[in-house]
Structure 1
Amino acid sequence: MNQSNKTPKTSFIKSLGRNLREMKAFRKSLYLAFLFTVIAAILSSVAPSKLSDLADEISKSLTVDFEEMGKLSQEIGLNLQSENPQDLQYDGKVISLDDQKSYMNILSELKENNISLVERDELSEDQQAMLLDSYKKFPQSIINIVEPSLDMDAVWSIVKLLIVIYIGSFAFSYIHGLIMAEVTNDYAKQLRSDVSDKINKLPLNYFDTNQIGDILSRMINDVDQVSFNLGDSLGTIVSSTALLMGSVVMMFSTNWMLALIAILSSLFGFLFTGIIIGKSQKYFRTRQKVLGEINGHTEEIISGIEVVKIYNAKEETEEKFDELNNNLFSSSVKSKFLSNMLQPLMNFIGNFGYLAVSIAGAIFVSKGYISFGVIVAFMTYVRLFTNPLSRIAQALSALQASAAASDRVFEFMDEVELSDESHLTNYLDPHDVEGEIEFKDVVFQYPSNDQPTIKGFSAKALPGQKIAIVGPTGAGKSTMVNLLMKFYEISQGDILIDGNSIHTISRENIHDLFTMILQDTWLFHGSVRENIVYNMKDVSDDELMTLLDFIGLTHFVKTLPEGLDTIIKSNDSVSAGQRQLLTIARGMLKDAPFLILDEATSNVDTRTEEVIQEAMDKLMYGKTSFIIAHRLSTIVNADLILVMKDGNIIEQGTHKELLAQKGFYADLYNSQFSLN
């Protein structure tokens, strides 16, 4: 079985866009989640400005209020210069005339020593020490007015607002997380359902040309990768973008100079992020592709482990696995290395931003351009600005893996399907079908072949006839059955069922008309009863036991520990012949007007074959039957034998008639008894 070599080459943006389109059923929930995360981001952006107010309020209690001192000095000066100086009422407090004079004398001494309250930041250490000593000499009434004090009412007002902001931000973020978790799981469920539905819509040719393990990898690993990363990443990107924009707006509204410094110091991180994403995306795609190849290789080896052991192919299979494993390791290391560079890069940018803001902020405070609270706010804003960048970088890294996985899922979803048959209204009731089938100049060519496999095939089966189809390997026997079951669409010609063209009947209707027992047995993990009554309802135990007696399975079932309720697997203490009998029992339970046996007795011994053949003769009574057989001894009693070679009928007739012709059939039949 060859695996498709197609590799998804969809761009990261297109993959993300496709996922968003596929999530249209969840748009309302997504919009609501995004709204909540934006509100949470806005609240987080507003909080630093309130922290700045809180810092400024606290800083007032740590330093002398020189601004208030200047106002007070002006009031006292005017009062002392008036014609009738008197005690001064200021801010609800009384300052005596003597205290006023004493205060002004101290200020005069400071002025004589060139100490200015306005330019106090430029004073020498000695001058600052003199200013502090002078402050200690101030009258108590003056000190009560200008000494540092903490306005607890203002502090508590800001603290309460901050608590509300932080609680609100947490609540909206929490609700956003709940919604996104539900959306993510629902989307994964939808993807799995879509993939499952797609499997039933694909032609058999797809499964003939692709490894089953790779298909399973797309359905399980890739879907899990999409659901695991996509939901969280989308929410992270939206919330981080909102927080990023909010912090930028608040930074500029607080101080445009520091805002420019903080942003410019972090801006070049975007450039490196884009470069890294472009480099790593191809490795994510390769990783998912090789993972599918490993699953396909492993599935093939495990299913054929007996052959591997018989032919001592351990080294060969290990070499192939090691090659694929090394490819997976290489692509995983490269993709992870590049994507993991994003986080330390953004941390470096964040730290660089802290440093730039700290240096510039210190200079601006010393110049009196900003207050200490502005620096506190900007230290928080730098974190709010760089953290979203870091989280966006992480989300983009996760989205890369999700995009690579979704490419493979959507590549599978975009495969060409079987033709739509919703317009077909012709329905054949299985109970009313007479049983006539006619092939009229049927031509069929596999998509991957240059020449037709079936070339102008024509034959007619009358109601109740047993039709045997024989011929060498590759003659087209199984292909004819697949065309009859409409597993493949015929290229030219027609097949008529009771005079109704197969083109006018849906596949589901055709499948209801046929019981098909194949050479390849299939048992699923379940009880004996479940395997026999597969997709059939209202089957009693009495009916089952009668059927088991009919085909000789009663002894086998009675030896099982729980009888019909015993859980079995296709490879769990069940021989090839017993598996064949169980699948035959399943087919015999279905009441359909047509029967197809494709080497159905190839895995049973001669004695069991005789028992089954007798049961088959009873089963085929009144049904139009098609038997594909290599052991020609099993079809000597067929009503009509069609001999195929190179995709066409070269002989037809009964067993005796074909032997009498001494042609190709006679040679095939007699070769069974030849010793040479």
Structure 2
Amino acid sequence: MKNSLIKRSIAKVIRNNIGLSILLVFVICGVVVTSLIPPQILKYIVDNNLVPKRYDKLLTLAASYIGVILFVGIFDFVKEAILAILGQKITKEIRIEMMEKLERINAVFFSANSSGTVVSRFTNDVDAINSLFTSGIIGMMVDCFKLIGIVISIWTFSSKLGIVTILLMPAIYGLTRLFQKRMLKSQIENRILIGKVNNHISESLKNIQMIKSYSKESYMEENYKRYLLDNYKTIEKVNFYDSIYSPLIQLTRAVVIAFIVVLSSKQLNFLGISLGMVAASIELISNLFTPIENLGMELQDIQQAVSGIRRVNDFYSESEDDPKQHKLKAQNIIPNREAVKLSFNYITFQYEEGINVLQNIDLSLKPNEKVTFVGRTGVGKTTLFKLIMGLLKPTKGNITINGVDVYDIPNSEKRKVFGYVDQNFHIIKGTVADQISLQDESITRKQIEKAIDFVGLTEYVEAMKKGLDTEVVSDNLFSQGQKQLLAIARAIVTNPPILLLDEITANLDSITEEKIVSVLEKTSESHTILSISHRLSSMIASDTVVILEHGRVKNSGSPEVLLESDDWYRSHIALEKLTWS
């Protein structure tokens, strides 16, 4: 992309806000020019009124001086307002493009990056880019122009004083950057330690029962005190640098002003300038410190923004899904529910090049067949389900339903083909009905009621104040078992021909597990069911069990055949019976 996203967003905002952009250029010029006028008025007042003791125009000149300063403030206010407006518009455009990219991005990206990392791209990194425009480049340009104007103004008074000013600027900038870097380092350390303190409090509250059970109160308290002490020390550093920097700058300013006054005195007269020029030079020198101090902060903002641009660029360069065949419809792929043929055609999959997660999986399932995939943790069972739903694309081979590659099925049609249930039920903002429909307007009220009734939750939902229209504001409204039943209702509400069950009884007690399994048994007559089970003895009645090992199909067959022929399967069944007896 090479910054094309950023450039495109900025160019689009400028094109759509030509008037505002022209006004911004005008007020920037206004800020720079008007900030140089007050010292000139001061020079004129001293040389033409105070020294010759002519007071007739003094009031008018004083009013002009105040008026120009007022205009400086107005121009500066308008500049900041326009920058804030344009900056937010640019931020919005970047985030819109990033969201569009997110919809096209390959699912492998989400396996390699946590949700917090992705959110950080949209928030912190884009905010850093926003600061590049609002307080970075524009601010640096304004301050550079101010510095150039100040140097030129002083040079017109005295070339010697101009040279002194030029030599003074690097010293002031170096001093400013030294303090800013140290303060930034301390602030970063402080933010890290604040995170540790907050995390310690959260962990203590979450694990309070375990802490009390094992008498670890004093241990947690000592850790908390240590984090607080470290945090206190970093705050002290920040306060120390902050308290020293301002007086040091004030002292430097006073020394420079005293130096100018001495050089301009009647005894030395080294600079050869009038009293008015001395007064104007003092004001200009005083004004020199602010833009130099700002430049240090702006450079810091630009550095942070550049790193933000790189991360956004990396995100925008991520590989995308291949274009879907949007003309494909679920009813055309599966015209007859009794003729669903799911085939795994020698599929191999890699998250990282050269490392096979799955290798040469070759299976052909019959219509309405019940298949359970088993194997050790990390063998690739969940990855296989993602491939079946077309969320990931096989590195080699393909998976087809009635000859149609599942990866080509549009996302809008997938819910009509697949029903997916895992061990976690994710609550969304909305009513009980919304938890089932996921706010899909194509799903009718009757379908929702039928799904709720199928999983046996009708009585419980009707007992609520507003029934299906009850707002779900807390996870506590449903038990873990009821959440799993809701997950099943969410999966079957569109009556998809293929159900995928990913260890759905992993976190349930045996009684709740039996209820879940009995509900799923009812679906078995009209669905092809693929399941992953953590306990072989609690599997839904399966026609076929597929044992995966090292990413390959180690063995497959009916449960009865495997019990006789496969040592691994037989030993696990025996071990579970011993454990649960």
What TM-score range do you get, normalising by the shorter chain?
Answer: 0.7 to 0.9
CA contact (8 A) 1:597 1:626 kept: yes
Distance 1:297 1:490, change over 3 A: farther
**1:42 Cα shift?**
0.7
**1:355 Cα shift?**
1.5
**TM-score, structure 2 as length reference:** 0.79
CA contact (8 A) 1:203 1:417 kept: no
Q: Which residue in the other structure is 1:53 paired with?
A: 44
Q: Which residue in the other structure is 2:307 paired with?
A: 407
For the aligned residue pairs, the C-alpha RMSD in angstroms reads 4.6
Farther-moved stretch of structure 1 (248-257 vs 663-672): 663-672
Are 2:274 and 1:371 aligned? yes
Distance 1:386 1:274, change over 3 A: closer
Distance 1:567 1:26, change over 3 A: same
**1:501 Cα shift?**
3.6
**1:431 Cα shift?**
1.8
Paired residue type of 1:548: I
Paired residue type of 1:379: I
Q: Which residue in the other structure is 1:643 paired with?
A: 547
* In 1: Cα distance, 2:365 partner to 2:125 partner: 47
Q: Which residue in the other structure is 1:247 paired with?
A: 150
Q: Which residue in the other structure is 1:101 paired with?
A: none
Unaligned runs of 5+ in 2: 335-339
**1:197 Cα shift?**
5.8
Q: Which residue in the other structure is 1:348 paired with?
A: 251
Within 5 Å, give how 1:7-156 maps onto structure 2: 23=10, 25-26=12-13, 32-59=23-50, 62=53, 150-152=55-57, 155=58
* In 1: Cα distance, 2:217 partner to 2:123 partner: 28
Q: Which residue in the other structure is 1:551 paired with?
A: 455
Distance 1:59 1:650, change over 3 A: closer
CA contact (8 A) 1:430 1:593 kept: no
CA contact (8 A) 2:455 2:486 kept: no
Paired residue type of 2:396: Q
Q: Which residue in the other structure is 2:436 paired with?
A: 532
Are 2:407 and 1:493 aligned? no
Distance 1:658 1:583, change over 3 A: same
* In 2: Cα distance, 1:214 partner to 1:329 partner: 29
Q: Which residue in the other structure is 2:385 paired with?
A: 481
**1:667 Cα shift?**
4.3
**1:179 Cα shift?**
0.9
Paired residue type of 2:150: S
Paired residue type of 1:421: D
Deviations 1:608-628 (A, max 9, x none): 555544543554554433122
SS in 2 for 1:468: strand
**1:251 Cα shift?**
1.8
SS in 2 for 1:440: strand
* In 2: Cα distance, 1:170 partner to 1:405 partner: 27
SS in 2 for 1:600: coil
* In 2: Cα distance, 1:585 partner to 1:557 partner: 13
Paired residue type of 1:36: V
**1:221 Cα shift?**
5.6
Farther-moved stretch of structure 1 (378-387 vs 524-533): 524-533
Within 5 Å, give how 1:433-582 maps onto structure 2: 433-434=333-334, 435-447=340-352, 452-502=356-406, 504=408, 513-569=417-473, 571-582=475-486
* In 2: Cα distance, 1:332 partner to 1:277 partner: 15
**1:447 Cα shift?**
2.7
CA contact (8 A) 1:214 1:295 kept: no
Are 2:88 and 1:185 aligned? yes
Distance 1:491 1:342, change over 3 A: farther
Distance 1:21 1:481, change over 3 A: same
CA contact (8 A) 2:109 2:318 kept: no
**TM-score, structure 1 as length reference:** 0.69
Unaligned runs of 5+ in 1: 1-14, 63-148
Distance 1:433 1:304, change over 3 A: farther
Paired residue type of 1:244: L
SS in 2 for 1:414: helix
Paired residue type of 1:429: K
Paired residue type of 1:441: Y
CA contact (8 A) 2:90 2:130 kept: yes
**1:372 Cα shift?**
2.9
* In 1: Cα distance, 2:156 partner to 2:378 partner: 80
CA contact (8 A) 1:222 1:408 kept: yes
* In 2: Cα distance, 1:268 partner to 1:43 partner: 26
Given candidates 424, 428, 432, the residue that maps to 2:328 is 428
Distance 1:467 1:314, change over 3 A: farther
* In 1: Cα distance, 2:221 partner to 2:315 partner: 32
Given candidates 309, 312, 319, the residue that maps to 1:419 is 319
Distance 1:440 1:345, change over 3 A: farther
Distance 1:530 1:316, change over 3 A: farther
**1:518 Cα shift?**
0.6
Paired residue type of 1:444: F
CA contact (8 A) 1:262 1:357 kept: no
* In 2: Cα distance, 1:150 partner to 1:477 partner: 93
Deviations 1:217-237 (A, max 9, x none): 665566556657972455543
**1:596 Cα shift?**
0.8
SS in 1 for 2:426: coil
